[in-house]
Amino acid sequence: MFDRNTRLIFIFMLFCISGTIAQQADTIKYSGTEEMEQQIENLAERTEIETDYSDWVEEMNLLRQRPVNLNSGDENELRRLFFLNELQISNLLEYVNQFGLLASIYELQVIDGFNEKVVTQILPYISLSPYIVEKFSLKRALKYGGTDVMLRFQRVLQEQKGYLPVADSIRRMNPSDYYLADPNSLFVRIQYSYKDYIKIGLVGDKDAGEPFLPKSDTLHKGFDFYSAHFFLKNIGSVKQLAIGDYHVQFGQGLTMWSGFSVGKAAGSVVMRKRAPALRPHASSNEYAFLRGAAATVALGKFDLTLFYSNRRADANIIHSDTLLSMPEMVSSLQQTGYHRTPGELSDKGAVHEIAGGGHIAYNGQRLRAGITVFHVEYDMAFETQDALYKKFQPVLNSNSYAGIDYSYNYKTLTLYGEASKQIDAGFAFLQGLSFSPDPKLAFAMVCRNYQKNYLNNFNAAFGESSNSTNERGLYMGMVATPFTKITLSAYADIFRYEWLHYRVDAPSDGQEYSFQLAYNVSRNGDIVFGYRRLINPLNYLPEDEKMNLIGVSERDYYRFQFNYQALPWLKSQSRVELSVREAPLKNKESGYLIYQGFQVKPTEKDWSISFRYLLFDTDSYDTRLYAFEQDVPYSFSVPAFSGKGSRVYFLLNSKLNKNISVMLRLSQTWYSDRNSISSGLDEIDGNKKTDIKAVLHFSF
């Protein structure tokens, strides 16, 4: 299965590893967010639709722009660093209170719960500057605030079927066979901010194929999507004020949570979500947000949040039939944000969505508790679902929800949970526990039960499926550091679908197991060995049977990864990953992915270059593998690799002066087992696909 090129790159990686290990360690550590990237890869594997992860990119960019001040002594400030668990935050606050301000990042390692790996992970997102409590001043905000302007261009260089040049008469005859506009993607983001007190921003986005300045007067001119936000924080008794587009996030994400939320990942354990209540929406994500106004007000130990949203949402519409007395109905809500064809354009803003509610939270020293109530309504009835697996799911046109969430800390133990009731429908609850009996050992457990008649589009609770319905499960995880340079982590997640599931025609069970060993070669890098086993139910139909039988798909993943900062100006990342799949009535299948990446950043220069070369070979799409890639700001890349081929990308980041920077990204995927790529209107006649991205960033 491994051809000559694969063996050569594997030998090269081993040579790099042996060479860099032999070098003397530098004082600059390798830094990254490997666990978060693994969570994105796992989420991409679990969903069948193209998902926009730009909200996560936005979170990471905000942390880089305004690092968390570890000397603040403010628990809410530290909670912005969502890598940290309850024990680490508690111990850090106690240490600063007892011994004074941190003078060096290496001082963190004497605090229980922190080690070299944790410090390395949080390094790009923290600050140790003296913390000065500042009372908000509008005059100071207007004088010292900063403005960021970012312009992004993106396109596929190869000609795709939907962009073929044809006469207008042919387009009019077959409008659904062609995209409405060119393959250029445009994005602009303008934001004015002053520290964490005020943010005012505007976003404009045009996806490839969407009109921008069309010749036709019947088509909208300008960006396809606009978003604006005005956000205030910690001004008097007003803790948060959001006007325009924003996110609402309460509890553990079961009753109300808009936007991105992380899940399972090797190398870490599931922790209690730290709901910020409100935050501005400033990304190109076109579906997972609210539009209107919201505010959080402090009332002693209580926080009261009220929100109201009124916006148009994309939806597939079944048009009325006067002969059959059938009114217009919604068949499904759309999440892609694409409006490239007449059909997609007709779905744009097709239904009116109104959502409103509130949350009251009690903030005690050990106990935190909250109550959430909200209602969502659409101005059009939803079609009754005929699929048997959706038999118990309530219709979505008008629903109310009520939930209770809590968390309790006692020394190294944290209990948390949430229960949610869909009025006139189902019930769902989640209970979690995290426990650190020793600074070198942490346990976590999450139990959930989401009834088959509970359905909520505004949630992001922990689970195997993405919609928190028809699922019971028990997750158990642990992270241990038995030796200074070795970290062991593992988890098991056992789940059951009490009713039929998509492509599973009976109640069924599944499991997921993961084990990872990370060895710190030095302060500059680590070697990671990982194994993951995923067992999912699925239908299969033998020749002599007339009804589907229920079997299991068993997939095993093996990963070797090496991250190293070989020199102060050179980082490297290497990975080998294998997948093996067994399923009823199918031969055993396998696949592999192997890559070598470098990042060059001269110590006294204002530019950097990232590079990765990747080879992949899989027997089918069922053995596909994912690899998170570095990308330009407010964009993301998590390609799925199946078939046989290679991929390369270059990313150049250059700061022209203190106010202007540019980023250029070129990526190309080459397939050796096919003569066409993709299908439908995205089909490319050839075996190469090349993407380019360019970003121009101004700050003043």
**Out of 106-110, 475-479, 670-674, least confident range:** 106-110
Q: CB under 8 Å to 342, separation ≥6 — which residues?
A: 175, 176, 180
At 623 the three-state DSSP class reads helix
**φ, ψ at 4 (rounded to 5°):** -65, -45
Label residue 25 by pLDDT band (50, 70, 90): very low
**pLDDT band at residue 649 under the 50/70/90 scheme:** very high
Report d(CA 100, CA 251) in Å as an integer. 32
Q: What would the mean pLDDT of 629-649 be, rounded to a whole number? A: 90
Span 435-455, pLDDT tens digits: 888 878 889 999 999 999 999
Q: Which tens digit of pLDDT belongs to each residue from 51-85?
A: 556 666 667 777 777 788 888 877 777 877 777 76
Counting residues of the chain whose pLDDT is more than 90, the rounded percentage is: 56
Task: Report the pLDDT value the prediction gives residue 324, as an integer from 0 to 100.
Answer: 58
Identify the band that residue 50 occupies on the pLDDT scale cut at 50, 70 and 90. Answer: low
Least confident range from 37-41, 205-209, 544-548: namely: 37-41
The pLDDT assigned to 321 comes to 66
Q: What is the pLDDT of residues 232-281, one digit of tens each?
A: 998 989 999 999 999 999 999 999 999 877 777 777 778 888 888 999 99
Q: Which one has a higher pLDDT value, 270 or 376?
A: 376
The answer, as to whether pTM is greater than 0.85, is yes
In 3D, which of 416, 288, 279, 275 has the Cα closest to residue 353? 288
Average pLDDT over residues 598-616: 93
Task: Flag whether pLDDT at 12 surpasses 50.
Answer: no
Q: Is pLDDT above 50 for 537?
A: yes
Amino acid at 502: Y
Range 581-589 average pLDDT: 94
User: Which residues neighbour 500 within 8 Å (Cβ) at sequence distance 6 or greater?
Assistant: 388, 389, 391, 506, 507
Q: What is the CA radius of gyration of the chain?
A: 26
Mean of the per-residue pLDDT values for the chain? Answer: 87
The residue ranges of every structural domain in the chain are: 31-136+188-430
Please say whether the dihedral angle defined by the alpha carbons of residues 565, 570, 571 and 573, taken in this order, is positive or negative.
negative
> Predicted confidence band at 24 (pLDDT cuts at 50, 70, 90)?
very low
Q: 59, 33 in Cβ contact below 8 A?
A: no
Tokens of 45: 């594997």
| 165: Cβ contacts below 8 Å, ≥ 6 apart | none
172: left (phi over 0), alpha (psi -120 to 50) or beta: alpha
The lowest-confidence range among 163-167, 523-527, 580-584 is 523-527
Give me the phi and psi of 9, to 5 degrees please: -70, -35
Is residue 416 pLDDT above 70, yes or no?
A: yes
**pLDDT score, position 686:** 96
Mean pLDDT lowest among 229-233, 545-549, 621-625: 545-549
Angstrom distance (rounded) from CA 355 to CA 581: 43
pLDDT over 80 (residue 165): yes
- pLDDT for 204 beyond 90: yes
Tell me the range of 2-11, 61-70, 362-371, 644-653 where mean pLDDT is highest. 644-653
Burial grade of 670 (CB within 10 A; 0-12, 13-18, 19 or more): middle
Pairing of strands 660-671, 302-313: unpaired
